[in-house]
Amino acid sequence: MAHGTLHKALDVDREYQLLQERLDRNVTGAPDSPAMRRVLRMLFSPEEAHVARSLPQLISVPKLAEKLGVDVDALDELVTSMAQRGLILDFVRDGTRYAMAAPVVIGFFEFTFMRERPDAPMEEYAEAFEGLFDNEDFIRSVFSHSTQLGRSLVREETLLPEIEILDWERATKVVENADAVAVSLCPCRIDAGLRGEGCDAPTRTCMTFGNSARTLIHSGIAEPVTNDEAMEILLEAKAAGLAQTGDNVREDVSYICNCCGCCCGMMRSIKKYEIYDGIVPSNFVATIDHSKCRGCAKCSKACPVGAIRVEPTNGKGLRKNWSIVDTDKCLGCGVCHDACRWDAHGMERRDDPTYIPADMMERVALMAIERGKLGDLLYDNVGSRLGHFAAASLRAIEKLPPWKAAMANEKIRSTFISTMLKPVRKAAPI
């Protein structure tokens, strides 16, 4: 690129390869495949691929222009176009504009479908992404290991009064306490509808909160709503039998999706590839009172991940059939409770709840450690020669048995993460 312009003869194939490699350094990954290359070529021009693959996790637009050797005004215009299409994220703080890298999931897949775009070839986009989600390597790069992007939120109204539930486990509290709320179309149901496979569940159901809401509003991807309006959307989604999936953190929850098992990318992947920890279950699990169960299978049909089956009683009860909950698959969402006409379903606390990260930074750090990508995370946040050297060194250490053994120790891992994140949290611009 010549200074003062964004135009230069680019090695097109090389730019898309480097973009794929950049995306694969994210904790959710983006392994190379014909489907991945098709998606990237469809969404990004070669020039945009060059900019996106040059992004660290976060950088000011003036610094990015200096890094690329281009005119800042021309780059600012390109960043605006890319942000409006959800290819990257941007925001302004203290008069300075920042650009943020967007992964594939949760990232530019969702942002592509979260609002109406009559000017874009949306059916072609949907077909291309479906090819990507049919790629098992990609799915496992996103949903493998124990720390996940999303966690299930129990329907608190299904719990008996004596069962304790914390505020961060309540979808209603997330909505009530948010200092900014935005709503957009459900990308999964819009994507499925474009392929002729959508359901009749409501689509204006995807909610974001706080800085995430402000960022998506700024880019035109979501629209602002009040907390009361968001609560109405939540209640409508529950009435439609949708399960609530939220950001896998305890503090500053950034989103709540209202999911159906037929369209939701997470839930479809869970069932297709049997990745039953692809969404972290809530701290509750479904129970069935077989003295009341009629074996009608309504709960089985309502369960978004196929965790309930109907079996013959084999003479063990008054009914011919009854429902059985597979507790290893159960998300603890409570949808089955509302589907039951016979008051046979309940919810109880799990004996072995999964650890939920405190915030987004801890979640990303845990995911990076589990996936052997802490070196990549360091490089993408530092981005200098020193950062490159440190990241390469850490990548080598991550492959050693002593590192894996140390990170398997919960106490050591917790101390390591706390120490690592302390300066990052102090310097965080958002």
- Residue 428: pLDDT band by 50, 70, 90 thresholds? low
Tokens in use for 152?
């299930």
Task: Compute CA 354 distance to the chain's CA centroid, rounded to the nearest angstrom.
Answer: 18
What's the mean pLDDT when you consider all of the chain?
A: 90
pLDDT at 139 exceeding the cut of 90: yes
Is residue 348 over pLDDT 50?
Answer: yes
- The percent of residues in the chain predicted with pLDDT above 70, rounded, is 89
Res 407 pLDDT > 80: no
- pLDDT over 90 percentage in the chain: 75
Q: What is the mean pLDDT of residues 313-322?
A: 75
Give the integer Cα–Cα distance in Å for 149 and 26. 12
User: Above 50 in pLDDT, residue 299?
Assistant: yes
Predicted local distance difference test score (pLDDT) of residue 303: 98
Between 248 and 382, name the one with better pLDDT.
248
Look at residues 174, 152, 315 and name the one whose alpha carbon lies nearest to residue 242. Answer: 152
CB atoms within 10 A of CB 72: 18
pLDDT at residue 374 in the model: 83
Domain boundaries, the chain: 285-347, 360-427
What is the per-residue pLDDT for 413?
Answer: 73
- Rounded distance, CA 26 to CA 92, Å? 23
- For 336-372, the DSSP string reads HHHH-SSS-EEEEE-SSPPP--SSHHHHHHHHHHHTT
* 5-8: long-range contacts, CB 8 A cutoff, minimum separation 24: 5/70, 5/71, 5/74, 6/47, 6/70, 6/71, 6/74, 6/75, 6/78, 7/47
Q: Tell the burial category of 100 from Cβ atoms under 10 Å away from its Cβ (0-12, 13-18, 19+).
A: middle
37: left (phi over 0), alpha (psi -120 to 50) or beta: alpha
Q: What is the pLDDT of residue 386?
A: 45
Q: In this predicted structure, what is the pLDDT of residue 380? A: 66
Among the listed residues 279, 314, 37, the one whose alpha carbon sits nearest the alpha carbon of residue 153: 279
CA 257 from chain centre, in angstroms, equals 9
How many CB atoms lie under 10 A from the CB of residue 413? 16
Nearest to 264 by CA among 335, 214, 323: 335
What confidence tier does 384 reach under pLDDT thresholds 50, 70, 90? very low
In the CATH hierarchy, which fold is given to the domain comprising 285-347? Alpha-Beta Plaits (3.30.70)
* Pairwise CA distance, residues 380 & 363, whole Å: 16
Amino acid identity at 74: A
Write the pLDDT tens digit of every residue in 235-284.
999 999 999 999 999 999 999 999 999 999 999 999 999 999 999 999 99
Sign of the Cα pseudo-torsion (110, 113, 114, 117, in order) = positive
Task: Decide: 23 and 88 in contact? Cβ < 8 Å.
Answer: no
pLDDT tens across 6-36, in order?
Answer: 656 789 999 999 999 999 999 999 999 999 9
CA–CA separation, 341 and 20 (whole Å): 49
Residue 6 has what pLDDT? 65
Cα 265 to the chain's mean position, in Å? 10
For residue 66, the one-letter residue type is E
Six token digits for residue 58: 């976060």
Look at residue 395 in the predicted model and tell me its pLDDT.
Answer: 66
Given phi > 0 = left and psi -120 to 50 = alpha, else beta, which region is 332? left
pTM value > 0.85: yes
| Among candidate residues 80, 104, 107, the one with its CA nearest the CA of residue 91 | 80
Q: Residue 85 is which amino acid?
A: R
Q: What is the largest CA-CA distance in the chain?
A: 81
Please tell me which residue, 81 or 421, carries the higher pLDDT value.
81
Dihedral over alpha carbons 264, 268, 271, 273 (to 10 degrees): -140
pLDDT at 335 over 90: yes
Q: What sign does the CA torsion over 150, 117, 241, 267 have?
A: negative
Taking the C-alpha atoms of residue 348 and residue 179, their distance in angstroms, rounded to an integer, is 31
Burial class of residue 358 in the structure, from the number of CB atoms within 10 Å of its CB (0-12 exposed, 13-18 middle, 19+ buried): middle
Q: CB of 102 within 8 A of CB of 28?
A: no
| pLDDT band of 385, cuts 50, 70, 90 | very low
Pairing relationship of beta strands 255-259 and 243-247 according to DSSP bridges: antiparallel
Is residue 33 classed exposed, middle or buried when 0-12, 13-18 and 19+ CB atoms within 10 A define those classes?
middle
Copy the structure tokens of residue 417.
């993460």
Q: Specify the pLDDT at position 326.
A: 97
Q: Compute the average pLDDT of residues 395-412.
A: 72
- Of the listed ranges 164-173, 193-202, 370-379, 416-425, the least confidently predicted one is 416-425
- pLDDT reported for residue 143: 92
| pLDDT exceeds cutoff 70 at 3 | no
- Least-confidence region, from 26-40, 108-122, 186-200, 413-427: 413-427
What are the tokens at 426?
């102090």
CA dist 41 → 24, 108, 121 (Å): 16, 13, 13
